[in-house]
Structure 1
Amino acid sequence: MHNTAIFLIEFGAIILGLGILGRFAGRLRFSPIPLYLLAGLAFGEGGILPLGASEEFVAIGAEIGVILLLLMLGLEYTASDLVTNLKTHYPAGLVDCALNALPGAAAALLLGWGPVAAVVLAGVTWISSSGVIAKVLGDLGRLGNRETPVILSILVLEDLAMAVYLPIVTALLAGVSLATGSVTLAIALGAAGAVLFVAVRYGRVISRFVSSDDPEKLLLVVLGLTLLVAGLAQQLQVSAAVGAFLVGIALSGEVAEGTHTLLSPLRDLFAAVFFVFFGLHTDPASIPPVLLPALALALTTAATKIASGYWAAKRAGIGAKGRWRAGGTLVARGEFSIVIAGLAVAAGLEPELGPLATAYVLILVLLGPLTARYTEPLAQRLTRRRPLDVGASDTPQPAGTVSGPGERRSL
């Protein structure tokens, strides 16, 4: 009874604290992710007041948070959108991967962490934060801008790449042999391909089966199906997150919209718990030694992300102003960088990787909204002696005309 009381007090205090931090971040109009990470640092190993009774429950909540993040991500897209996006925009995705993953891999090798850590850190520096970027686009009133579909296309390709990348990382961290790892990757690719095929051909049938006019029944069926598939995927060493992502893709139409509405509060709750959990397992004293490498890596990959966004927008025929806005908007890293780093921390890969990833995300989640706002005017000042491109238009489209891949994304 005493332990139950302590658990309720601790967990209740965590949720209440997260709510207050979220409201504070909302008033200042920036992402609450850094505040959640700082809260975890304050109450974790070496923090002000380490938790005791509730830590195991927080760990389970963090697992659910990752699953819901990927499920909701899958709900944002239709299978046909993903296929079209792959065919049309894969060159931009390849450039984005090369420019932003290589600095992370190089940094890990320079720090002497080895090839597995290099693959992990490459993912941390590669994937932009969909959540932060979506909020920034809305706050700046850029939903109708001509460069916005380009930004969304890159985010879609990064999200889709997660379905391939996460099984690779999971296999590497598990220390399996090359043959076993190849089988795991083949299973993941086969599952992803099968789900895309079924979703394109029979998506309406699946949605009708899951659909219900009763929100309670819809919530129970979708959540139960997601956890079941995620667990089976984890059992096959494919990654629970990938399983949840594929479930989201398979659902479409009114079912996807209804599920998104019902699960959004749960996603936000458990995602916040996930960020706290990551912070709980990072000793604050371990961050200062890696702060300079994290800052150097953040500045480097901010520049490479701006370059990749600029190139993608130029390829799409966007004018110079829109190119700079596209690049600056993509700088923020956040939830999925922490997800990737969390896998490495859980596997005990490299003690300094978790602190470096925490510092890296803290820097870029704060810097991202600033680069989104100021990259274009700063570039204008630096190039004011040279006329900007006049062949491509930067005129915003009317609100609500954003189309193409990713149009189901919540902005």
Structure 2
Amino acid sequence: MHDSSVFLIEFGAIILGLGLLGRLAGRLRFSPIPLYLLAGLAFGEGGLYPLGTSEEFVAIGAEIGVVLLLLMLGLEYTASDLVSNLKTQYPAGLVDAALNALPGAAMALLLGWGPVAAVVLAGVTWISSSGVIAKVLGDLGRLGNRETPVILSILVLEDLSMAVYLPIITALLAGVGLAAGSLTLAVALGVAGLVLLIAVRYGRHISRFVSSDDSEKLLLVVLGLTLLVAGIAQKLQVSAAVGAFLVGIALSGEVAEGAHHLLAPLRDLFAAVFFVFFGLHTDPSSIPPVLLPALALAFVTTLTKIATGYWAAKRAGISARGRWRAGGTLVARGEFSIVIAGLAVTAGIEPSLGPLATAYVLILVILGPLTARYTEPLARRLTRRPRPEQPLAPPAQATPVDDQDTVGRT
């Protein structure tokens, strides 16, 4: 039995360190995810000071972090929103998957990692970071821009696709046969469809049952229900994350708002622990050998994400400036790329996959906010054509600011 005082000192130091890193990231105005990953690298296998007594608790906290990340994501959307997005924006979702998943799969095959690792790395390069992108949109004051609904639609489709993708890779990583894998996928699709149907028709009744004026009771019921459903989903090999996501979708109205407010601090705490846990299981010395592939993959998928956002915004009738802004905003990868890679690391399919994913996310979680800010002005400079001089120009009329790309601006 471990000494409880050593555990408290070690775990307390971890939480305090994460808090200080979060404050530093806030002052520098970028996502704290890379700092959390670096902290995990520093105190994990091959790091400066490997953890001892608290590692098991950190592992449990990491699982809860994944569950809460997906629960909070589900609380952001209603079932009707998801159905509407599927009907209107599915072409953009298909283009997004094709342009951004294929580079990851191709890289895994070029490195000789095999088809299972190719499916995993495809997911790592495909899914953008909803958390990082939402923060960037707020920091840049673009929540009211006309291209923002296009960005959010693509993120919703990516998140919803995880309900199909995660059971597939769970079955592949478990090494089950074709019949068992097909059964797992059928169960996942059936459960997802059933929950969406119940949420659309009976969401108000479910929310009324969970609702409580007492914040303590609401927190306990929502958190307990989420962990219960996540555990059952994992037993069925559907994925605990998908189970939590579906619980979030089923809740709506004041219950969803109240649960979001109460669970946000818990989400932030355990999500930070999750990123540290992923770093703990990555040996820093294993990153340099995969740094060049990570840089190449980051370069290619930066271009493909920009192309995705540009095409989707053009399809929605957004002007050229808004198209470039949409593309640059989608570049960041983060929490869900690490979630997907974490499943592969746990299964032990390819030792180099975890380090590659860590390096890749570190690059793009730092580059993402920069592309969101500078892609549009850079593209405008590169595509600007010199105007021929005219001998006599009529008096200039006032030209409106680019308000065609914004909503609610004066």
Shared fold (TM-score, shorter chain, > 0.5): yes
1:99–1:308 CA contact under 8 A, matched in 2: yes
2:407 to 364, 381, 397: 397
2:329–2:369 CA contact under 8 A, matched in 1: yes
2:219 counterpart of 1:209: no
Which residue matches 1:77?
A: 77
Residue 394 of structure 1: how far off its partner (Å): 3.6
Cα distance, 1:393–1:141 mapped onto 2, change above 3 Å = closer
Which residue matches 1:89?
A: 89
Residue 393 of structure 1: how far off its partner (Å): 6.7
Which residue matches 1:321?
A: 321
Which residue matches 1:136?
A: 136
Residue 386 of structure 1: how far off its partner (Å): 7.8
1:210, 1:386 → 2: CA distance? 62
Which residue matches 2:41?
A: 41
Which residue matches 2:164?
A: 164
2:104–2:122 CA contact under 8 A, matched in 1: yes
2:352, 2:175 → 1: CA distance? 19
1:360, 1:386 → 2: CA distance? 38
2:337–2:361 CA contact under 8 A, matched in 1: yes
2:212 match: secondary structure: coil
Which residue matches 2:125?
A: 125
RMSD: 1.3
2:365, 2:2 → 1: CA distance? 40
1:113-155 Cα shifts (integer Å, max 9, x gaps): 0000000000000000000000100111101111000000000
Which residue matches 2:332?
A: 332
Cα distance, 1:107–1:394 mapped onto 2, change above 3 Å = farther
Cα distance, 1:2–1:359 mapped onto 2, change above 3 Å = closer
2:404, 2:291 → 1: CA distance? 38
2:405 match: secondary structure: coil
2:366 counterpart of 1:366: yes
1:329, 1:83 → 2: CA distance? 24
Aligned AA (1:396): T
2:310 counterpart of 1:300: no
1:218-270 Cα shifts (integer Å, max 9, x gaps): 00000000000000000000000000000000000000000000000000000
2:188, 2:7 → 1: CA distance? 38
1:357-410 Cα shifts (integer Å, max 9, x gaps): 0000000000000000000011001100189xx9x97431117xxxxxxxxxxx
User: Superposition pairs for residues 7-406 of structure 1, below 5 Å?
Assistant: 7-385=7-385, 394-398=404-408
1:112 match: secondary structure: coil
1:174-194 Cα shifts (integer Å, max 9, x gaps): 000000000000000000000
2:207–2:255 CA contact under 8 A, matched in 1: yes
Residue 101 of structure 1: how far off its partner (Å): 0.2
2:178, 2:2 → 1: CA distance? 49
1:41-81 Cα shifts (integer Å, max 9, x gaps): 00000000000000000000000000000000000000000
1:318–1:393 CA contact under 8 A, matched in 2: no
1:265-285 Cα shifts (integer Å, max 9, x gaps): 000000000000000000000
1:321-358 Cα shifts (integer Å, max 9, x gaps): 00000000000000000000000000001000000000
2:98, 2:151 → 1: CA distance? 17
2:403, 2:303 → 1: CA distance? 24
1:220, 1:397 → 2: CA distance? 39
Q: Percent identity?
A: 86
2:79, 2:10 → 1: CA distance? 42
1:28, 1:209 → 2: CA distance? 43
1:321–1:394 CA contact under 8 A, matched in 2: no
1:64, 1:300 → 2: CA distance? 33
- Structure 1, gaps ≥5 residues long: 400-411
2:286–2:352 CA contact under 8 A, matched in 1: yes
2:311 match: secondary structure: helix
Which residue matches 2:393?
A: none
Which residue matches 1:402?
A: none
1:141 match: secondary structure: coil
1:194-231 Cα shifts (integer Å, max 9, x gaps): 00000000000000000000000000000000000000
* TM-score normalised by L of structure 1: 0.95
Paired residues in the alignment total 396
2:318–2:405 CA contact under 8 A, matched in 1: no
1:240, 1:114 → 2: CA distance? 26
1:360 match: secondary structure: helix
Aligned AA (1:18): L
* TM-score normalised by L of structure 2: 0.95
Aligned AA (1:398): G
1:342, 1:236 → 2: CA distance? 19
Aligned AA (1:304): T
2:319–2:405 CA contact under 8 A, matched in 1: no
